[in-house]
């Protein structure tokens, strides 16, 4: 056997534990450190640490996944590790990692200012093609880059993603909090007994083809909602305009009740002077308040409602920006210019809008429902996109009231208090005339 001295490379060797001289703890430590240092000088640089197990099988690593709406600039909150989270509707990736697949926000990218007592007009907007912003939160094992890329590719594949469309909800006018997103291309609108009755009557009327499809009343979170078709579900990046129809947006009953119990409203006075500082009378300025009937009648006169029978309530563009600053848009030329900008000079869209408005007018003139109802606060919803799709619907029937004693309305003759005329067809005639003037230029 080869002598130990030859193996160690020298004539003498340090004693080892258990042989010869017994070493102290300090000497043992020094001996160990010296041998480790010598070994590190002789061996090549060790490879980087790998997490691959000895059996050669790499355990799959799935990153924590958070999907947030595109318009939400705030970082999504994540559930604490190990705490189970209730799965939202539409969840499709099942892992042990905490995640949040958030639904669309109920606020717009450009929130609208509200015009008091207007009806609720909630519009949806298609965001992107199939997905929101996807955050993949990286783990400690940086060598797993290919695994991260694979997960990201899977998330972004529209074939795998169940979200054909993602919606953000934009309210151009009315009271907030009246709508919720629903499944199957529908929305939920806060329940109104009057509106439910209108939709039930419309089921058997020709006008039904001009309104959102009614799916009945549903319960959600202890509240009742009317379920309607989402009118924007088949549009890509739609442009939307809400036109409030009629020469007034308040019921005669509202005016009568407000007069019976007059109350000075400082909030309405402020709204008035914000639009026109010269509008209040000397007495109203001294009181710094106005009554509700005074305000309701004044606000119709500053827009095109009184003279044209409709007014532009709000517009949402394809880029998500909203504009509701049309309170003083009053003349034909002003309205015409807004429509020109809304359609961006697209004659094909203009022709489709006109064709649809002709159809709506014909149906309204022969509708039993329309003849027997005072239609207040209802809107025409204009929608088009860059693909060439364009359509118009009647929406909002919360203030549409059945007339007593088989009374009918003309919808064109001027309103005098007591005759309940709403001027709806007057407004539609003027609207068609304005769009026809655009096509002639």
- 106-155 pLDDT per residue, tens: 223 233 333 334 433 333 333 333 333 333 333 344 444 444 443 333 33
Give me the half-sphere count of Cα atoms (radius 13 Å) on the Cβ side of residue 96.
4
What does the pLDDT read at residue 428?
Answer: 98
What does the pLDDT read at residue 138?
Answer: 37
From first to last of the 441 residues of the chain, give the pLDDT tens digit.
Answer: 444 443 444 444 444 444 556 777 777 778 777 887 777 666 665 555 444 445 544 454 444 444 444 444 443 333 333 334 343 443 333 333 333 322 332 223 233 333 334 433 333 333 333 333 333 333 344 444 444 443 333 333 333 333 444 444 454 555 556 888 888 899 999 999 999 999 999 999 999 999 999 999 999 989 999 999 999 999 999 999 999 999 999 999 888 888 888 899 999 999 999 999 999 999 999 999 999 889 989 999 999 999 999 999 999 999 999 999 999 999 999 999 999 999 999 999 999 999 999 999 999 999 999 999 999 999 999 999 999 999 999 999 999 999 998 899 999 999 999 999 999 999 999 999 999 999 987
- 69-107 pLDDT per residue, tens: 444 444 333 333 333 434 344 333 333 333 332 233 222
- 179-216 pLDDT per residue, tens: 888 888 999 999 999 999 999 999 999 999 999 999 99
pTM metric for this prediction = 0.63
* Cβ neighbours, 10 Å, residue 28: 13
Q: In sequence order, which residues have a C-beta less than 8 Å from that of residue 164 and are 6 or more positions away?
A: 130, 158
What does the pLDDT read at residue 33?
Answer: 78
């Amino acid at each position: 056997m080869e002598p130990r001295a030859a193996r160690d490379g020298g004539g003498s060797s340090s004693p080892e534990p258990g042989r010869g001289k017994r070493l102290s703890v300090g000497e043992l430590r020094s001996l160990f450190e010296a041998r480790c240092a010598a070994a590190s000088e002789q061996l090549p640089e060790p490879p980087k640490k790998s997490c691959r197990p000895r059996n050669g099988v790499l355990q799959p690593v799935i990153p924590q996944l958070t999907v947030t709406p595109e318009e939400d600039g705030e970082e999504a909150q994540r559930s604490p590790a190990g705490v189970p989270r209730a799965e939202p509707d539409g969840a499709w990736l099942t892992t042990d990692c905490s995640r949040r697949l958030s639904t669309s926000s109920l606020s717009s990218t450009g929130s609208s200012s509200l015009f008091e007592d207007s009806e609720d007009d909630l519009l949806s907007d298609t965001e992107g093609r199939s997905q929101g912003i996807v955050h993949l939160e990286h783990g400690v094992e940086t060598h797993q880059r290919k695994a991260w890329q694979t997960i990201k590719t899977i998330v972004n594949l529209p074939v795998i993603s169940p979200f054909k469309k993602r919606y953000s909800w934009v309210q151009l006018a009315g009271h907030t909090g009246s709508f919720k997103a629903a499944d199957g291309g529908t929305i939920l609108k806060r329940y109104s007994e009057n509106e439910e009755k209108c939709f039930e009557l419309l089921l058997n009327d020709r006008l039904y083809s001009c309104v959102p499809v009614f799916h009945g009343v549903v319960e959600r979170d202890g509240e009742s909602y009317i379920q309607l078709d989402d009118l924007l579900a088949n549009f890509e990046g739609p442009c939307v305009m809400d036109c409030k129809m009629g020469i007034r947006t308040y019921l005669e009953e509202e005016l009568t009740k407000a007069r019976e119990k007059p109350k000075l409203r400082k909030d309405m006075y402020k709204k008035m002077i914000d639009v026109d500082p010269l509008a209040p009378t000397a007495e109203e300025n001294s009181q710094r308040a106005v009554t509700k009937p005074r305000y309701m009648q004044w606000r119709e006169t500053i827009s095109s409602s009184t003279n044209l029978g409709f007014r532009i309530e709000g517009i949402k563009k394809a880029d998500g920006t909203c504009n509701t600053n049309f309170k003083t848009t009053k003349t034909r030329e002003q309205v015409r210019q807004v429509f020109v900008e809304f359609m961006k000079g697209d004659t094909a869209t203009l022709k489709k809008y006109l064709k649809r408005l002709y159809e709506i007018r014909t149906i309204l003139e022969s509708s039993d429902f329309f003849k027997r109802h005072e239609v207040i606060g209802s809107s025409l919803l204009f929608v088009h996109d860059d693909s060439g799709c364009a359509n118009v619907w009647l929406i909002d029937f919360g203030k549409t009231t059945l007339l007593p004693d088989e009374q009918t309305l003309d919808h064109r003759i001027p309103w005098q208090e007591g005759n309940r005329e709403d001027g709806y067809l007057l407004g539609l005639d003027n609207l068609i005339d304005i769009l026809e003037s655009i096509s002639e230029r």
